[in-house]
Structure 1
Amino acid sequence: MTGDDDPAAEPLRALARELVDIAVTIQDAAAHATAALTDAALLRAAPNAPSAARPAYRALLRATTNGRGLGYAFTGGRLATAAAKAGAMLGAESLAVRVLATSLRLRVAAVALTHPELTGDPMLVRLIDAAAADRDVEAVRALRALVKDRGAVRALSQLAPVFGEVLALRALLDENPLNDATAWLIATGRGFATADPITGMSNRAIAVLDTGEGAARRIELTAAESARLCTRGSLLGFLANIGTIGTTGRALVQSVEGPDGVIRHVLQAPGMRMGRPDGDSPQDLLGAFSSAVLASSPYSRALAEAVADYGPPPGAELALVGHSAGGAAIMNLAQDAGFCARHTVTHAVAVGSPVDFKRPADPRTWVASVTNRHDIIPTLDGQGAGTCFDLHPGWYVVDYSDSTHLFPHCHSIERYLANLTDDLPEAREHIEQRLAAFRGRVVRSQAYLLFDRPPDPVGFPFLAVPTRPVGGPGGNVELPIRCRDGDALTAYFAVRPAAAAELLEGTGLGPAVRVAGRALLAVHAAWNRRTSAGGYAELHVGVVVPGPSRRSSRPAVRPDLLRAAELRRSGTFLVGSAVDTVAVRALGSRLWGGETYLTPLELRLDGRSAHVTAGQILTLRGRLGPGLPVNDPGLVGYTGAAGAVLRSCVRARGRARLHAAPSLRLLVEPRSAHPLAGRLRELALDGARPLLCLSSTTRQTLRDAAVPVPRA
């Protein structure tokens, strides 16, 4: 591992910097020539002195279009910009672009001295040469061959040290005029890459999708997480804390009693949460992107809210430590003049973050940036290992390489922590020394859950309903039972009509709903994680019926099954129910009627597969297959009691998926004497596969007492 370049690389970088200055000077000359060529006053005066104007305009035109002069060098103004873009689409180049491309090639050569694999690997050489020579088709073929041979992750990791330079070369030399400005910014080091260097799509057009004023709410860590938090302040301790809370949408603020007895505070911000963009958390992909591109983002604003809630005294010293997107977010805080007016931001440490073009509002803020050269994320601002610019001479910059070249492993906080612990002792000690005032006993820790915008109160407005107490074995329970978070699976099976008719005899609920001549039976399992009655699981088995006073099972009934429960007349005649808590079992006769069994229940549902286990009753598991998004319809159940029909209703809020081709299989526990297991065998469901399934995760529900159905 090394943090130092080959000494021979510095002359190449110095020459690359000089060529950048030359290219900028040429571009300025082209701008002056274009301005003179298109000056309206001169154009109006030209007819008055044609003998003098004609040679002058001919010389200007030759200078801005001749390959031996400035090349095709129109720049500045609407007309000139349009002409320049048209020329770029036709493959015309300016002298400034050619000089700048040479600078980028020198930067690649400088990096290759430290990373000989860039010139020793034929496949990488083929790709870099094709990009540098403006051979787009060959570059695409080379990239495709590299990915096919080594996979996308390994290919990207190997290219990482010169990733920005290769993209800038391609953008400078291709025929797409939309990415020229971005290529110029990367090559000259004059600013953040404002657009995708391949397509030219504006980064801000994507970043503005990440909206919200930012919010933070206190949250308690688990006992295991709290035990792993550092008890004394240090760089390694703060980074380990970031690894402990993980990319879970949380941040941490701690107070440390320094060696001088002064209480100082440390904000610790993790990186991006993996997966799809999350409309609630600022730590998602959009949040990471906007934190890097914009000066303020929902992530940084949420962090500011966390600090405000934590309540450090005005002007108290505050250190900011962040990894990946968290590093970009804390740098946004450091460059927020309002935030720095309220707090004395003494240190900002960004690890694996794209922060090259962020500047602290307070010049006294000490900044450290630690980046692995094979980590793609820090290069997203356009500057990587190949940069020839000293963009921030006052910062402490650690740009190193180690044997772990694979991304995203080299980007993980655990890898950075290991590098600083074992491989970068000088850098670690230097940063620790600068953080000496924060090295002491941790006297307070508070975790925060971050949001794009202030969240509604838990369950509001769906769960904000009147309640009433009812007696239970462990004391009063409030009805309706309000579930803030749960999963549910309903599997529909085909059974013999005669068997279903026998179960429905005398209920007045009409014939069972049929599909292709077979009666429909539902097995419903739910895991109610957080409810007003505590967490519990439930299982219900029943025949699907059109509802009271209906004597038809025609197909028109079937769409009714997907209506909201409170509006639905069709439902399930329950022939057996089971729960896994004593308290809810005692309420079974009140909630849905009929006999309720007490048995261990488990439901695991991840959107692609399901696993239901019910004690000595059944196991239902397998893949769910593709699903059609629908609203969670809840559950309607019917039972017979003392000559009356009771209707129970579970109102649900959330999204569900309708799976038309599930590959689940129901297995009845062999040799089980449980009554519900016997009922399933009588219905010939042992080994059966469902016709379709309805799955729902992160749902909210309201379950009230069953009510008698009025007689017609």
Structure 2
Amino acid sequence: MRADGHAPGQPDGQDAGELLRRCAQDVLDVAEGIRAVSARTGAALLDPGLTGSAPRRPRTTLAARWALLRALTGGQGLGSPAVTPPRGPARLPGRAGLPAWVAVTALRLRVAAVLAGHPGFARDPGMRRLTDALAPGRDPAAVRSLRALFQDPGAQRALSGLTPLMAELSAVRELLEGRAQGDGPGWALAPGPPDGQSSARHVPPPGARDGGEAAADAVGLTDQERQAIATEGSFLGFLRNIRALSTDGRILVQNVRGPDGVGRYVVQVPGTSPGRPRDDGPRDFADAWHDLFATDSPSTRSIRLALAEYGMPRGADLALIGHGEGGTALLNLARDPEFCRTYRVTHVITVGSPAAGRRTADPRTWVAAITDQHDMVPDPGGPDAGPDPDPHPNRYELHYPGPAGPDALRHTVRDYIEHLRSVVPQAREIVDDALTPYRGPVVRTRAYRLRDRAHPPEGHPFLTLPTASVPTATGEVDVPVRYYDSSAVHLCYLVDAGAAHALLPAGTRTVPGRTGGRTLAVLSLYEHRCSTIGPYTEVALSVPVADLWRPRPYDVAADLLRRADLRRTGRHVLSLAVSSEEARSVAREIWGQPATLGSAVADLMGRHLRFATMETGLVVAGRLGPGVRCPEADWVLYGRRDESTVRTLVRAHGAPRLHSGARVRLRLDTAAAEPMAGQLRRLGIDAARPLFVLHNPRFTAHRSAGAVLPR
């Protein structure tokens, strides 16, 4: 059974994207052919028959071997980095080879296809870094840029959100490193047998972890989570359970008594959330890619251990329901014959998962795959794209056009719940009808945290510290808030102390730290790619303030010599704009900072800075000159909540550098939004160059809960 959710006429971007994807596949076919020719040429070069004929015909043998060598390694030939002797590869360093160059061209086409269908994805940090690496016009330069990108320790996190390009990234990476041999996983994207099941998909990727590291620990649920867990089996109820679990590496196993009185079991697995820390769980970039091609991974092994600990009997009826990458892992379990011999997998239902063309080990299993065409994770142009050549009667697929708009690229289970209620209610009815044996009271519920013991906790040891849960308007937040991958630029201006004092809260003893009649104003730009409150951008205007009890003119300068937790001075945040509602709630309710919503495009990692806000009308651009290394930039930030001052400690770990601000310019639109635009003008910053710039291209940090001071 198949449903078609496409509109009668696709947008031009979708048509262009499909054409580019087909072109990319054709180019990859060419790369595969070149690689095969390179392998045969290398084998001929070291063929024993040719080598043995050298004493008898030295001139012709030498000419033949020289021609083969030039064809294999020459700049006008294959440019191969390796030949394949009988006992293994012998690498020729420094060369990427024609197959890799052609594969990079295919990657360029694939990136263009993704952006044609989803232009908003160009703002993703990983996509920006990838397009920057592919920007050089010459293929060898692009190969060098990609090599540097893959060797960058922070690149894996930045690229982890590029699910539609995951297979291509892995293939190109192996080609650049000279590891693709024969039918290895580096060529998993190459065309497979006619049935669409490529043999390469069962080959573990490089770095795949062995089975001894997977683990599953039973964990309790909070009171709020227990209230949200459904007590009756239904499709939307199971999805709400997934939403309640969030994306912190937990799964839910429930025992449901059906209408016929028979006990059945339901496993519910969330996906990952880009820009969120993954702790020591198995749902990382490597495992998510592994799940696309193999039935065995740390995720699937951890789920098996959870089911064994739950005490599920052999032969029990089992329904698997997952979102995003969690749905992919469950589909792989259903494709495993051994797992299907242990349990009778009756249903596999996924939302937002790349599930096209995947067959289960038990042909009786009913499979449903529901995806929004705006969702980037189950991108239909991925490695399993296209309709199943032999559709199964127990299969239901729906790729529907969800609501367009600024949030169209979101991949949350909350969006799918809302769409199943209002946009595609017929899909909910079809799935609920199929789940009739599971529509009964829940007898037992148990949550498990999946772990990969080969990995330490994220940010260890700097970010492994005790936390507490604090309620906010958008839900509970763990504090300190931890930032696992961020960039920051602080523009420091010399301004009039009287003008700065006029912007501080009235009726308080907060005064700016000054030297004579001047003080500093700091415009801070942040790009938080991964944090415990999600990815977001931030722009803040602050001024240094003196001790609230004993203000002295030079306190700020003297306090910089002390540890941050012993400082009596700090920076008072005058205005703040963040790009997510969760970050705004945390800033207002926990740190006492006057935050507003405002999206931005940020590029703060290199020397060419670019930060443009949409709502505030502020643009910062320029190139940093030479800089000097300076100590870690720990800060004390002050805010205001009700009648009290809130003090927040920010600890950072990175490599900040101090630069001259001569080449950095700030531009403010005439219609820029208040309050930040007005404060910048009153301080004279809109027409001045920064005195100096503090640049921290990549750092980790944690911000404590705000301590309330009685004045």
Q: TM-score range by the shorter chain?
A: 0.3 to 0.5
**TM-score, with normalisation over the residues of structure 1?**
0.48
* Larger fraction in helix: 1
Bigger Cα Rg: 1
